[in-house]
């Protein structure tokens, strides 16, 4: 039994193999999946969390990293409230691709989207990207930054909670309130934000 | 599950009973439903009599395996029908129960709840449906959000049923965004168990199909054509289709899948058909764009079976009047791929050629020329890209193929339009600094023209060859590039040949009766045509034969053209004209020292072959006897004077001009023609190509003036310029006596101006025109020359008038020339200028 006051859409992007699916599974199911196949197209998970005593539902869209699914994955950017851009701290090429990903985000996502840079797999010994390099990149591009390990469950909870908090803050800002009134007018109901339509219009 | 309280069979209780239960509800709330959604502060608590909850609770069995309690379900249905205002609360309650059951993984109850909601949905009256739909959809979404494939599939099936219900007043704030997103994700399921994966994908496709059906008729509910939806739906369908590989099978071997066994590819395909079929003009692009993008990203152009398969589906499903949009989009996509490998472009062009025919039937007016124009532009770009690459050439062939396929399915009148349009795009005359790319472009455009020409079936020559088409074509038949000249002849062949004689006349032969030619008496319009335009055509052929770069193919092609003209336009007049032409050609072979030995031989072979053809076609027994004598003599004295045409002859072997009895003789022919009942008087007049018989060079200069005033004079200044150009760019074109290149402009000056002034002005004018023609488009040239032509007629008249009134002032030579030419002008000019 659950209900929620806020619904936010979170989309994960980044090269194939950086651990997007593992991050999502760790967060939504509390497990580190052994050898699952690569994501194709998009995958979908849901998790409801509590922020300041309010239920917040996170719709998490996990995308395939491969180029060939780009057209379908990009179509999910637009309605995203938050975009998590993931790279693998033990794999330089996944970091080198970040500018390309940013370009795509610029092109297809809302300009107001919350952007988070995540360096995953910090449990690994063979780090190639120092923390400060990731941090620098994030601050240069006006993103949050966090390093995680889906395997060890490091910072995964924190990552999504941070997003939920931040989006809730945003949602409580004036823009949203004005929007709520509109909803009330259309539906003739209360100002409870319950379904996806309100949020897709937020963007 | 809580025990079912005693069912009440009474109809809705009066209001006071409701009030008495409020406290009971409050308690219940605190105890069990504390987390229920707060539906607002409207103060409607007094309506919350739990009867509906009890009715809902009662449909659930103790054991989920037992399924829905049917009798209680009937009670619930009856209740909700009689109290439709309760529907939203019933729905909400179901939703809450199901949410809880999902959370506790009691899937059996979830399934029962969904089933009950389905039944209520169907039972509801249209007007009251809206009250229920909101919570119903929340329920479906809830199930779709679960990680359990079974529930996702169940929810989809329920949604499909919902989509089939017609709603009177759809709720305009309802959004299907989540459903499209989720169903698309399901279409890409990567579930480990193959069977389950298939089921989830199948459900995803069915869900998408349902959303489309639900929304397509009403943009206000949800504009399903928005890119945000189409960019999900279309790739999801294609992704499932491409996995099947059934498009790879041979066309004949495609076995229809068993009807009841739905598989994702088949379903995705039918869904795509439906989607495309429903798209209106404004929406078609929204479907096509993601299709093209998908093919790019999934690298599905090479090999292109799947692309062809998909685009066939699209073009067959699309509303016919929009089919050209598909062509347009593919062409725009070629543009976008201008930097891609030629293989990819070839594949796209090939797809285009495979569907363009279907579009052609529906294309009208400007869209036709747009498509042609776009194809020509791509050809031009390809030429710029690379001249020597084999791959690029394949791409060009694919484009030309597409062009041909397209033209093939247009009505004939449009084919002529297209041919003229292509003609207008051919850069001609050649530039002074013509590059190989320019040459290639010209010949590629001519190839396109040829392709369209082969799809066209001539009925009357005057419709096939409007002057504005014939005239530039003949000009191009004199192009410096032998390849191009050959193409022009081939275009003439396909357009002239109406009785499938082309194949039979492709090789010079004197065994005409073996050819089994198909003959038909020519019609009056045809004879009028050849009377009008014959001289220009013959002259172009004659002039073309003088070009030193001619290969045996060039000469043989001209043989074919002349032969086809004979066969298609049989008349007494044509006989005389062609014999005259043959005598001219023979003279050329004998006297023109700049021709090679093999060219001279080839010309002689051409002459005797056509001559023999005339005898057979026109049934002239005496003339045939004469022809046979010559053939016999040739066989004895120099068999190289007989077919076939060779490209090499033994060293130091030349036709001997002194040899008796092996050449046609004008006087002999005149006599014999009379025997066969033809009037040879025109033949005995001075030939436009020279005096006729061997060694009679005297008439050559006259022939030139004739030819200039006809073939080239007809375009006046264009002709002059072309001569200048061809002199500088191609030494092959014979221009021995520049003074003789007379146009009427010139003639008038000759007659009126002092020689010095004339020369100066002429040089100036040529310079100016040269510049003009180097830069102007053909359309501009036409524009420019058009008024001139009209002027010319007036000028001519003036000249003739002044000639007859003041002959005294003319020198004898001028006078003679003009007098001879008068009939020719009169005969030929008016039409030549009728653009
Ligand atoms: N050591 C380590 N491996 C991880 C971590 N996250 C994911 N992986 C591994 O990286 C591979 C790819 O993970 P996946 O989630 O499928 O990547 P995705 O393509 O971005 O979704 C898998 O073999 C995972 O086991 C992590 O935090 N630490
Ligand atoms: Mg993945």
Q: Per residue in A2-52, pLDDT tens?
A: 578 889 999 999 999 999 999 999 999 999 988 888 899 999 999 999 998
Q: State mean pLDDT over B38-52.
A: 52
Of B409, B437, B456, which residue sits at a domain end? B456
Position B135 scores a pLDDT of: 87
Is residue B684 a part of any domain in this protein?
yes
Instruction: Name the minimum distance, in Å, from the CA of B231 to any CA of chain A.
Output: 6
Structural domains of chain A sorted by starting position, each given as residue range(s) with its CATH number in brackets: 6-183 (3.40.50.300)
Model confidence at B129, pLDDT cuts 50, 70, 90, reads confident
Q: Does residue B755 surpass a pLDDT of 60? A: no
Q: State mean pLDDT over B730-741.
A: 38
Share the mean pLDDT of chain B. 75
Of A44, A72, A190, the CB nearest to B40: A190
Q: Do B362 and B308 fall into the same domain?
A: no
What does the alpha-carbon distance between residue B193 and residue B390 come to, in Å, rounded to a whole number? 47
pLDDT (tens digit per residue) in B600-651: 889 999 999 999 999 888 888 888 899 899 898 888 888 788 888 888 887 7
Q: State mean pLDDT over B157-178.
A: 83
Residue B586 is inside which H or E element, if any?
helix B572-591
DSSP A144: E
Position B426 scores a pLDDT of: 81
Q: Does residue A143 surpass a pLDDT of 70? A: yes
What does the alpha-carbon distance between residue B620 and residue A78 come to, in Å, rounded to a whole number? 84
Of B456, B478, B512, which residue sits at a domain end? B456
pLDDT (tens digit per residue) in B799-823: 444 444 444 443 444 444 444 433 3
Tokens of B679: 């009037």
Cβ-Cβ contacts under 8 Å for B794 (sequence gap 6 or more): none
Number of domains composing chain B:
5
Kindly state whether A45 is in contact with chain B, defined as any CB-CB distance less than 8 angstroms: yes
Q: State mean pLDDT over A170-190.
A: 49
Provide Rg for chain B, Cα atoms: 42
Q: Does residue B171 surpass a pLDDT of 90? A: no
The position carrying tokens 């046979």 is B628
What spacing in Å lies between the alpha carbon of A86 and ligand 1's midpoint? 11
Cβ distance A72 to B39 less than 8 Å, yes or no, reads no
Domain around B70: 36-169
**Percent of chain B scored above 90 by pLDDT?**
26
Q: Do B725 and B677 fall into the same domain?
A: no
Position B812 scores a pLDDT of: 42
Cβ burial B566-598 (10 Å sphere, 16+ → b, else e): bbbbbbeebbbbbbbbbbbbbbbbbbbeebebb
Cβ-Cβ contacts under 8 Å for B496 (sequence gap 6 or more): B458, B461, B561, B564, B565, B568
Q: Long-range CB contacts (< 8 A, 24+ apart) of B359-365?
A: B359/B315, B359/B323, B359/B324, B359/B326, B359/B327, B359/B406, B360/B405, B360/B406, B360/B407, B360/B408, B360/B409, B360/B410, B361/B320, B361/B409, B362/B320, B362/B321, B362/B323, B362/B324, B363/B323, B363/B324, B363/B327, B363/B410
- Which A residues 13-42 touch B at CB under 8 Å? 29, 36-42
Q: What share of chain A is helix, strand, coil (3-state, %, to 5)?
A: 40, 25, 35
Q: Do B236 and B161 fall into the same domain?
A: no
Tokens of B92: 């909400």
Closest CA to B746 of B661, B824, B817, B651: B817
**Ligand 1 first shell, C-beta below 6 A:** A 16-22, 38-39, 65, 120-121, 123-124, 149-151
Position B768 scores a pLDDT of: 56
Which chain B residues are within 8 Å of A202, Cβ to Cβ? Answer: none
From residue B464, give the alpha-carbon distance in Å to each of B92, B457, B536. Answer: 75, 9, 16
Count of pairs with CB atoms under 8 A, one residue in A, one in B? 107
Q: Does residue B579 surpass a pLDDT of 80? A: yes
Q: Do B372 and B434 fall into the same domain?
A: yes
Is residue B472 a part of any domain in this protein?
no
Q: Which of A116-125, B48-57, B202-211, B276-285 has the lowest mean pLDDT?
A: B48-57
Q: Do B69 and B96 fall into the same domain?
A: yes
Q: Do B664 and B547 fall into the same domain?
A: yes
Q: Do B339 and B312 fall into the same domain?
A: no
Position B379 scores a pLDDT of: 85
Kindly state whether B220 is in contact with chain A, defined as any CB-CB distance less than 8 angstroms: no
Q: How many CB atoms lie within 10 A of CB B147?
A: 13
Helices (H) and strands (E) in chain B, counts: 36, 0
Position B260 scores a pLDDT of: 52
Kindly state whether B333 is in contact with chain A, defined as any CB-CB distance less than 8 angstroms: no
Q: Does residue B447 surpass a pLDDT of 90? A: no
Closest CA to B441 of B373, B381, B374: B381
Position B563 scores a pLDDT of: 93
Residue pair B400/B451 in contact (Cβ under 8 Å)? The answer is yes
Position B412 scores a pLDDT of: 79
- Which A residues 78-117 touch B at CB under 8 Å? 78-79
Task: Give this complex's ipTM.
Answer: 0.86
Q: Do B295 and B334 fall into the same domain?
A: no
Is residue B274 a part of any domain in this protein?
yes
What does the alpha-carbon distance between residue A128 and residue A91 come to, in Å, rounded to a whole number? 6
What does the alpha-carbon distance between residue B720 and residue B73 come to, in Å, rounded to a whole number? 97
Q: Does residue B78 surpass a pLDDT of 50? A: yes
What does the alpha-carbon distance between residue B124 and residue B168 come to, in Å, rounded to a whole number? 12
What does the alpha-carbon distance between residue A160 and residue B302 come to, in Å, rounded to a whole number? 42
Is residue B468 a part of any domain in this protein?
no
Say whether B584 sits in a helix, a strand or coil.
Answer: helix
What does the alpha-carbon distance between residue B745 and residue B761 come to, in Å, rounded to a whole number? 11
The packing angle between helices B107-123 and B149-163, to 10°, is 0
Q: Do B148 and B209 fall into the same domain?
A: no
What does the alpha-carbon distance between residue B752 and residue B87 come to, in Å, rounded to a whole number? 104
pLDDT (tens digit per residue) in B192-211: 888 999 999 999 999 999 99
Kindly state whether B173 is in contact with chain A, defined as any CB-CB distance less than 8 angstroms: yes
pLDDT (tens digit per residue) in B484-524: 899 999 999 999 999 999 999 999 888 888 888 888 888 88
Cβ-Cβ contacts under 8 Å for A185 (sequence gap 6 or more): none
Residue pair B7/B54 in contact (Cβ under 8 Å)? The answer is yes
Find the residue in B nearest to A183 (Cα): B173
Sign, Cα dihedral of B814, B820, B823, B828: negative
Position B49 scores a pLDDT of: 55
Bigger pLDDT: A135 or A198? A135
Position B818 scores a pLDDT of: 40
Find the residue in A nearest to B41 (Cα): A190
Q: Does residue B719 surpass a pLDDT of 60? A: no
Model confidence at B308, pLDDT cuts 50, 70, 90, reads very high
Q: Which of A53-62, A172-181, B356-365 has the lowest mean pLDDT?
A: A172-181
Kindly state whether A2 is in contact with chain B, defined as any CB-CB distance less than 8 angstroms: yes
Most distant CA atoms of chain A, gap in Å: 58
Q: Does residue B740 surpass a pLDDT of 90? A: no
Residues constituting chain B: 835
Residue pair B670/B683 in contact (Cβ under 8 Å)? The answer is yes
Residue pair B592/B599 in contact (Cβ under 8 Å)? The answer is no
pLDDT (tens digit per residue) in A80-118: 999 999 999 999 999 999 999 999 999 999 988 999 999
Is residue B26 a part of any domain in this protein?
no
Is residue B833 a part of any domain in this protein?
no
- Which B residues 134-153 touch A at CB under 8 Å? 138, 141, 145, 147
What does the alpha-carbon distance between residue B619 and residue B627 come to, in Å, rounded to a whole number? 13
Find the residue in A nearest to B289 (Cα): A71
Q: Does residue B75 surpass a pLDDT of 50? A: yes
Q: Do B710 and B780 fall into the same domain?
A: no
The position carrying tokens 């899948």 is B257
Q: Do B631 and B728 fall into the same domain?
A: no
Kindly state whether B300 is in contact with chain A, defined as any CB-CB distance less than 8 angstroms: no
Cβ distance A72 to B41 less than 8 Å, yes or no, reads no
Q: For a substitution probing ligand 1, which of A35, A146, A148, A150 has the most ligand atoms within 8 Å of its CB?
A: A150
Is residue B340 a part of any domain in this protein?
yes
Global confidence as pTM: 0.71
Position B634 scores a pLDDT of: 87
Is residue B493 a part of any domain in this protein?
no
Q: Do B641 and B696 fall into the same domain?
A: yes
What spacing in Å lies between the alpha carbon of A43 and ligand 2's midpoint? 8
Cβ-Cβ contacts under 8 Å for B268 (sequence gap 6 or more): B187, B205, B236, B237, B238, B239, B240, B241
Position B636 scores a pLDDT of: 84
């Amino acid at each position: 039994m659950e209900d929620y006051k806020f619904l936010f859409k979170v989309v994960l992007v980044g090269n194939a193999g950086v651990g997007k699916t593992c991050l999502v599974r760790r967060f939504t199911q509390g497990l580190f999946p052994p050898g699952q196949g690569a994501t194709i197209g998009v995958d979908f998970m849901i998790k409801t969390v509590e922020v300041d005593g309010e239920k917040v539902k996170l719709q998490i869209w996990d995308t395939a990293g491969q180029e060939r699914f780009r057209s379908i994955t990009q179509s999910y950017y637009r309605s995203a409230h938050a975009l998590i851009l993931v790279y693998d701290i033990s794999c330089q090429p996944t970091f080198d691709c970040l500018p390309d990903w940013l370009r795509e985000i610029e092109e297809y996502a809302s300009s107001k989207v919350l952007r988070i840079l995540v360096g995953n797999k910090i449990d690994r010994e063979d780090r190639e990207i120092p923390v400060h390099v990731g941090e620098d990149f994030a601050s240069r591009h006006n993103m949050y930054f966090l390093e995680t390990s889906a395997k060890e469950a490091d910072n995964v909870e924190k990552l999504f909670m941070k997003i939920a908090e931040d989006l809730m803050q945003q949602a409580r800002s004036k823009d949203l309130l004005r929007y709520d009134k509109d909803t009330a007018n259309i539906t003739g109901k209360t100002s409870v934000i319950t379904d996806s339509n309100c949020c897709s219009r937020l963007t | 599950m809580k025990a079912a309280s005693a069912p009440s069979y009474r109809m809705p209780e009066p209001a006071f009973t409701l009030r008495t239960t409020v406290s009971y509800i409050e308690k219940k709330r605190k105890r069990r439903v504390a987390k229920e959604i707060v539906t607002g502060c409207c103060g409607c608590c007094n309506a919350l009599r739990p009867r509906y909850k009890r009715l809902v609770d009662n449909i659930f069995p103790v054991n989920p395996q037992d399924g829905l309690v049917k009798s209680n379900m009937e009670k619930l249905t009856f209740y909700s029908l009689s109290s439709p205002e309760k529907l939203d609360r019933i729905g909400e309650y179901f939703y809450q129960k199901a949410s809880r059951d999902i959370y506790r993984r009691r899937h059996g109850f979830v399934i029962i709840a969904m089933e009950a909601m389905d039944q209520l949905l169907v039972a509801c009256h249209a007007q009251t449906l809206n009250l229920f739909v909101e919570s119903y959809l929340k329920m479906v979404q809830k199930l779709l959000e679960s990680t359990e494939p079974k529930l996702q599939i169940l929810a989809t099936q329920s949604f499909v049923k919902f989509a089939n219900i017609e709603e009177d007043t759809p709720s305009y704030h309802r959004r299907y965004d989540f459903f499209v997103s989720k169903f698309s994700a399901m279409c890409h399921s990567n579930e480990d168990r193959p069977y389950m994966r298939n089921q989830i994908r199948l459900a995803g496709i069915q869900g998408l199909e349902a959303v489309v059906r639900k929304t397509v008729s009403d943009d206000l509910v949800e504009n399903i054509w928005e890119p945000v939806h189409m960019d999900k739906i279309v790739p999801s369908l294609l992704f499932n289709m491409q996995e099947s590989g059934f498009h790879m099978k041979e066309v004949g071997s495609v076995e229809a899948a068993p009807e009841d066994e739905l598989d994702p590819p088949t379903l995705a395909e039918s869904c795509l058909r439906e989607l495309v079929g429903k798209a209106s003009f404004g929406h078609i692009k929204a479907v096509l764009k993601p299709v093209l993008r998908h093919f790019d990203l999934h690298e599905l152009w090479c090999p292109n079976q799947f692309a062809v398969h998909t685009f066939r589906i699209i073009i067959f499903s699309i509303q016919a009047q929009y089919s050209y949009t598909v062509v347009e989009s593919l062409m725009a996509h070629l543009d976008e791929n201008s930097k891609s490998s030629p293989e990819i472009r070839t594949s796209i062009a090939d797809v285009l050629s495979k569907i363009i025919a279907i579009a052609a039937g529906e294309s009208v007016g400007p869209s036709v020329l747009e498509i042609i124009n776009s194809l020509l532009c791509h050809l031009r770009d390809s030429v710029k890209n690379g001249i020597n690459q084999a791959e690029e050439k394949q791409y060009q062939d694919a484009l030309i193929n597409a062009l041909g396929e397209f033209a093939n399915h247009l009505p004939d009148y449009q084919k002529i339009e297209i041919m003229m349009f292509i003609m207008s795009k051919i850069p001609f005359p050649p530039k002074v600094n013509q590059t190989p790319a320019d040459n290639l472009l010209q010949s590629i455009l001519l190839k396109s023209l040829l392709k369209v020409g082969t799809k066209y079936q001539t009925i009357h020559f005057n419709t096939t060859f409007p002057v504005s088409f014939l005239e530039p074509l003949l000009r191009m038949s004199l192009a410096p590039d032998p390849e191009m000249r050959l193409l022009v002849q081939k275009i003439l062949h396909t357009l002239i040949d109406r009785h499938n004689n082309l194949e039979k006349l492709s090789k010079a032969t004197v065994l005409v009766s073996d050819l089994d030619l198909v003959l038909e008496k020519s019609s009056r319009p045809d004879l009028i045509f050849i009377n009008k335009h014959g001289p220009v055509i013959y002259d172009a052929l004659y002039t073309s034969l003088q070009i030193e770069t001619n290969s045996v193919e060039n000469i043989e092609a001209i043989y074919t053209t002349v032969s086809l003209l004979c066969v298609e336009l049989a008349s007494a007049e044509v006989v005389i004209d062609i014999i005259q032409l043959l005598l001219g050609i023979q003279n050329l072979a004998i006297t023109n020292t700049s021709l090679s030995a093999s060219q001279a031989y080839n010309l002689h072979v051409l002459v005797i072959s056509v001559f023999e053809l005339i005898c057979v076609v026109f049934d002239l027994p005496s003339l045939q006897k004469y022809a046979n004598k010559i053939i016999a003599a040739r066989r004895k004295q120099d068999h190289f004077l007989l077919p076939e045409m060779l490209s090499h002859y033994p060293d130091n072997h030349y036709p001997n001009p002194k040899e008796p009895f092996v050449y046609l003789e004008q006087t002999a022919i005149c006599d014999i023609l009379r025997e066969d009942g033809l009037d040879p008087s025109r033949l005995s007049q001075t030939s436009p190509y020279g005096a006729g018989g061997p060694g009679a060079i005297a008439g050559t200069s006259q022939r030139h003036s004739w030819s200039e005033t006809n073939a080239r004079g007809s375009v006046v200044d264009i002709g002059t310029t072309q001569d200048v150009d061809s002199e500088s760019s191609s030494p092959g074109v014979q221009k021995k006596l520049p003074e003789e290149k007379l146009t009427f402009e010139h003639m008038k000056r000759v007659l009126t101006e002092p020689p010095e002034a004339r020369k100066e002005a002429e040089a100036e004018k040529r310079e100016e025109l040269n510049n003009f023609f180097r830069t102007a488009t053909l359309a501009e040239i036409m524009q420019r020359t058009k008024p001139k032509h009209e002027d010319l007629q007036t000028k001519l008249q003036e000249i003739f008038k002044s000639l007859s009134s003041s002959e005294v002032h003319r020198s004898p030579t001028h006078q003679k020339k003009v007098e001879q030419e008068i009939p020719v002008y009169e005969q030929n000019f008016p039409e030549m200028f009728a653009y």
